C-alpha cells in the first residue's frame, strides 16, 4: 500500500478492502478515486479468491463527505466540462456497486454525504455507527440529489425521503436504517473486531453471520416521532404548498423546517421535488441515474450551483444570491428543462 494514493487496496483473507484515502478533504471523491474504485471492483469480480469487498474511509472522521465540490465550482467557472465526465463515471460506478456479484460491505462510520452515499448505500451490507451522519445536502448549494439518491429517497417510508431530499438534513444511524439508507448498527469500537472477523469468512452466509454477531440496537432516532407532520406536509404537490403546510401545522419543528427550506435554492428545491417523485415511478436505479445525469448537466450550466458553492465553500459568507430568488419565479418550464433528454450525450444506463 502507498499512503499517498487516494484509494488504498489490501486483502485480508478472502476480503478486498477499499479505503478512501483523502482524509484532509474528508475523503471527498475525485475522478481518479472513482476510476480506482471501479477498477478494484472489476478486478474483484473476476478473482475467485475474493469473496466480498469492504469499503471504508481513512482518517476516522467519515467514509466520504461527497464529491470534490471545489473542483466542480472551478470547472463551471472556467467553462470546462470535466465535471460532466466525472459524473458519467461516478453514476456508472453507483450502478456497478448495486449490481456487484459479490457481497459489498460499506462501513458508513462518521460523515457520509452526497457521493459518499453513492459508494455505500447501494451496497448489500450497509453498516452505520453512533458517529454516522448520513445526508444528501445538495439543495443547500443549488444542486439536486444525485448518485442514485433520488431513487433511494423515493423508496423511503411515507414522505421521509422527500423531507430529507428537500432539507438536506443529516440523519443518525437509527434514522438511516429507518429510511432504507443503511441496514445494521455496529458500535464504532467494534468495527475493528468486525473487519478482523470478516477476513475469516469464506461464503456470503459466513459474512452475514459475522455481521449479525457484531450488531446492536441503534440509539433511538428522531424521524419516527415526526412521521405524522412529515407525511402530511410533504404529500403536497408543490414546494410552495409543502412550505405552507409546514407553517400552518402548529408543530414547532415543522415551522423551523419551513424556515430552513426558504434559505435553499428555489430552483433546486423545485427540481428536487420533481426528481424524487419521478424516480419513484421509474422502476430501476439505472433509470434514476440516467435522469439524475440530465439534471446534473443542466444544473452545472445554471447559476445556482456556482453561487451555492461560492457562498458555502469558497467565500463562506453563507449568503447565496439565488436566481431566481423566489419560489414563485421558478417556472414549470424551467423545472421541466432539467429533465429533457441530452441526445447523444445521454448516460444510457437503463438502455444498457
Q: Which residues are catalytic, by number? A: 67, 115, 138, 146
How big is the CA angle at 93 (ends 186 and 22), to the nearest 5 degrees? 60
CA distance 220 to 174: 6
Report the C-alpha gap between 291 and 83 in whole angstroms. 16
Give helix 160-167 / helix 252-261 axis angle, nearest 10°. Answer: 50
H-helix or E-strand containing 224? none
Q: Where are the alpha helices (DSSP H) in 106-248?
A: 115-118, 149-154, 160-167, 173-178, 191-198, 204-214, 227-233, 239-248
Cα pseudo-dihedral 247, 112, 45, 287, rounded to 10 = 20
Identify the CA nearest to 219 among candidates 188, 175, 183, 182: 175
Encode burial over 244-280: b for 16+ CB neighbours within 10 A, e otherwise.
ebbbebebeebeebbebbeebbbbbbbbbbbbbebbb
Task: Dump the DSSP string for 256-292.
Answer: HHHHHHTTS-HHHHHHHHHHHHHHHHH-SHHHHHHHH
Phi, psi of 171 (to 5 degrees): -120, 155
C-alpha span between 308 and 65 (Å, rounded): 17
Closest listed residue to residue 308, CA positions, set 344, 342, 264:
264
Collapse the DSSP code of 321 into the 3-class scheme (helix H, G, I; strand E, B; otherwise coil) and give the result.
coil
Q: Which of 88, 142, 93 is nearest to 116 (CA)?
A: 93
DSSP label at residue 217: P
Amino acid at each position: 500500500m502507498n499512503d499517498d494514493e487516494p484509494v488504498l487496496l489490501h486483502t485480508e483473507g478472502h476480503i478486498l478492502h477499499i479505503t478512501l484515502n483523502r482524509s484532509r478533504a474528508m475523503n471527498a471523491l475525485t475522478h481518479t478515486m472513482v476510476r480506482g474504485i471501479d477498477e478494484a471492483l472489476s478486478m474483484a469480480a473476476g478473482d475467485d479468491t475474493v469473496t466480498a469487498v469492504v469499503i471504508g474511509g481513512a482518517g476516522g472522521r467519515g467514509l466520504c463527505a461527497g464529491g470534490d465540490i471545489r473542483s466542480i465550482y472551478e470547472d463551471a467557472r472556467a467553462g470546462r466540462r470535466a465535471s460532466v465526465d466525472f459524473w458519467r463515471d461516478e453514476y456508472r460506478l453507483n450502478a456497478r456497486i448495486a449490481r456487484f456479484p459479490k457481497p459489498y460491505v460499506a462501513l458508513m462510520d462518521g460523515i457520509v454525504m452526497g457521493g459518499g452515499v453513492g459508494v455505500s448505500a447501494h451496497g448489500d451490507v450497509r453498516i452505520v455507527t453512533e458517529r454516522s451522519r448520513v445526508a444528501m445536502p445538495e439543495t443547500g448549494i443549488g444542486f439536486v440529489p444525485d448518485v442514485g439518491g433520488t431513487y433511494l429517497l423515493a423508496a423511503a417510508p411515507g414522505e421521509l425521503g422527500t423531507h430529507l431530499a428537500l432539507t438536506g438534513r443529516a440523519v443518525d444511524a437509527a434514522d438511516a436504517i429507518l429510511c432504507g439508507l443503511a441496514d445494521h448498527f455496529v458500535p464504532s469500537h467494534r468495527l475493528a473486531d468486525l473487519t478482523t472477523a470478516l477476513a475469516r469468512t469464506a461464503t456470503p452466509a459466513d459474512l452475514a453471520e459475522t455481521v449479525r454477531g457484531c450488531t446492536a440496537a441503534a440509539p433511538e432516532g428522531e424521524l419516527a416521532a415526526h412521521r405524522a407532520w412529515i407525511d402530511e406536509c410533504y404529500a403536497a404537490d408543490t414546494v410552495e404548498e409543502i412550505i405552507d403546510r409546514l407553517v400552518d401545522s402548529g408543530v414547532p419543528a415543522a415551522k423551523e423546517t419551513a424556515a430552513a427550506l426558504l434559505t435553499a435554492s428555489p430552483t433546486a428545491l423545485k427540481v428536487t421535488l420533481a426528481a424524487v417523485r419521478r424516480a419513484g415511478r421509474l422502476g430501476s436505479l439505472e433509470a434514476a441515474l440516467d435522469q439524475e445525469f440530465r439534471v446534473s448537466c443542466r444544473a452545472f450550466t445554471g447559476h445556482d450551483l456556482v453561487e451555492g458553492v461560492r457562498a458555502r465553500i469558497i467565500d463562506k459568507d453563507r449568503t447565496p444570491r439565488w436566481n431566481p430568488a423566489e419560489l414563485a419565479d421558478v417556472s414549470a418550464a424551467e423545472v421541466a428543462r432539467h429533465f429533457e433528454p441530452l441526445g447523444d450525450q445521454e448516460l444510457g444506463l437503463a438502455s444498457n
